[in-house]
Amino acid sequence: MRQWRQPTAADEGAQTASRPATRLPVRDPTTRNPVIVIPGVLGSKLVAEADSRSVWGEWRTGFSDPASGEGAQLLGLPIEYGTPLDELRGQSRVDGTLGKVRGYIAGMPVKITAYGDVMSAMGVESYSDTFRRDREKDSASEAAAFEFSYDWRRSLDECAADFAEFVARTSRFLQIQRRSSEPIRFDVVAHSMGGLVLRYFLQYGRQLLPYDDATPRLTWAGAAHIEKAVIVGTPNAGSLTMIERLVQGIPSNPLHPTYGPVLLGTFPSGYQMLPRNRHQPCAGASTQAEDDLLNPDFWLSRDWGITASWLKEERARQFPDIDNQADRIEAAEDHLRKCLFSARRFQAAMDQPAPGAPEHLQFHLFLGEAQKTARCFSGTRGDRTVRWTDYGPGDGTVLASSAKLSEADGESPIPWRSINTLKSNHMGLLKDPALFTAVLALLGRKAS
């Protein structure tokens, strides 16, 4: 089993955007818990290591275009035959939570709110380029609030280990500000993928997924630092949207260009958010391999994803250091197998019964259930799209049953303290006044 590694100087630099602000006033140690907001997939800005050009989150003049080889390589993670996923390092870094997305539509500059509303409601003061909130200094009775931005492309156990480091660093910061060595306990508001990062941290702390078939040891190590875990629209049992992205990519819209399936297929996290096989998301499967989304044969037999035969040009652009098409496919298949193995281990770790949760730890779920949401799909070899064949209630991206992690008997391995349903879609949850009212009341905070 691999062990937690000591962060290097490079790791520390990559987390600069996640450091807590240093201008908060001294606080009484008896005040309410400080709050951390964790965004979901695509919710942190990425910039190039070399020159800080925007790689994701700002589509203004000079952004890194994925249609170019350089742009594709900046956003995609590298692949290397036989190299473990956690040893692969890209050419871009995190640069804060996406409070606002910036770009041009029809030549006009636009700003679209992403996580700005929820960060503002929770009282976050951010120093990233994408979100800044000007207000008078907090009163001494108000709790501090922080953003945790992270590399949503990487395996989610790595993101959780980074979160553990962030919690330790933020705790020390608050102890210095409070002039007290009393332990700090946080409340966390986590959206979408961020809820998976939080749940893994709570159960396993800094442990990384083993290289072998073992599951990490359930210790509840992270729970010592958290009281209320507020989880919003999280695909606890996966989302069919990830099938669509891995097969078709992210299509262009008036704000941003197309991001292809080979590029997205380099992200280990995408495979970890695939639906659970036991919930039978694949219609018309005739063999176990065809029904197993985490089996490489599922992808290879359909000619889908990072190894698809029709994506030769995109592979050449994404992996220019590999000389020929046959070697690119071989390296891509190796990467696919590593990602799927990691996803199987991650899902097993997240779905196993989790007894012994500390009494102080509270799980509160907010989910959408009024939007038509894909529940089942079909597709055969040669298809370049997936087809939805059945739907259920959800937020348009995540089924309500996935957010609850409901099983056939109606039970969930997550000990929910409360489950709250809303009518908004996946991103609309972050703008829903009902969410803000309920969460602020739950955390004992006043609306700003």
Cα atoms in the 13 Å half-sphere on the side-chain side of 33 = 22
Instruction: Name the E strands within 233-386.
Output: 362-368, 371-378
**Residue 416 pairs with which residues in a beta bridge?**
363
How far is Cα 53 from Cα 399, in angstroms, rounded to an integer?
A: 36
Q: What is the pLDDT of residue 3?
A: 34
Decide which of 288 and 292 is more confident.
292
CA-based torsion, 403, 409, 415, 421: positive or negative: positive
Are the beta carbons of 115 and 193 closer than 8 angstroms? no
Q: What is the mean pLDDT of residues 277-281?
A: 93
Q: What is the pLDDT of residue 290?
A: 65
Q: Which amino acid is at 89?
A: R
**197-246: pLDDT as tens digits:** 999 999 999 999 998 888 899 999 999 999 999 999 999 999 999 999 99
How far is Cα 343 from Cα 442, in angstroms, rounded to an integer?
A: 33
User: Parallel, antiparallel, or unpaired for β 226-232 and 186-191?
Assistant: parallel
**144-157: pLDDT as tens digits:** 899 999 999 999 99
Q: Please state the domain extents for the chain.
A: 9-23+31-241+352-442
* Token code pair at residue 81: 């035959």
Q: How does the average pLDDT of the chain come out, rounded?
A: 88
How far is Cα 206 from Cα 369, in angstroms, rounded to an integer?
A: 33
**31-88: pLDDT as tens digits:** 689 999 999 999 999 999 999 999 999 999 999 999 999 999 999 999 999 899 999 9
Provide the whole-model pTM.
0.89
Q: What is the pLDDT of residue 447?
A: 67
At the topology level of CATH, where does 9-23+31-241+352-442 sit? Answer: Rossmann fold (3.40.50)
In degrees and rounded to multiples of 5, residue 111 shows phi and psi of -130, 125
Closest by Cα among 309, 307, 294, 292 to 339: 294
In degrees and rounded to multiples of 5, residue 126 shows phi and psi of -105, 145
Closest by Cα among 426, 366, 353 to 41: 426
Closest by Cα among 193, 210, 208, 215 to 115: 193
In degrees and rounded to multiples of 5, residue 144 shows phi and psi of -75, 155
In degrees and rounded to multiples of 5, residue 399 shows phi and psi of -65, 145
Closest by Cα among 33, 26, 286, 362 to 180: 26
Q: What is the pLDDT of residue 445?
A: 82
Q: What is the pLDDT of residue 136?
A: 40
In degrees and rounded to multiples of 5, residue 211 shows phi and psi of -75, -25
* Token code pair at residue 431: 């703008």
**Residue 230 pairs with which residues in a beta bridge?**
189, 364
**156-185: pLDDT as tens digits:** 999 999 999 999 999 999 999 999 999 999
Most confident of 17-31, 128-142, 327-341: 327-341
Q: What is the pLDDT of residue 181?
A: 93
Q: What is the mean pLDDT of residues 104-110?
A: 90
How far is Cα 53 from Cα 108, in angstroms, rounded to an integer?
A: 20
Q: What is the pLDDT of residue 22?
A: 34
Q: What is the pLDDT of residue 126?
A: 56
How far is Cα 111 from Cα 27, in angstroms, rounded to an integer?
A: 34
Chain-centre distance of CA 66, in angstroms? 21
At residue 271's C-alpha, the angle toward residues 94 and 72, to 5°, is 50
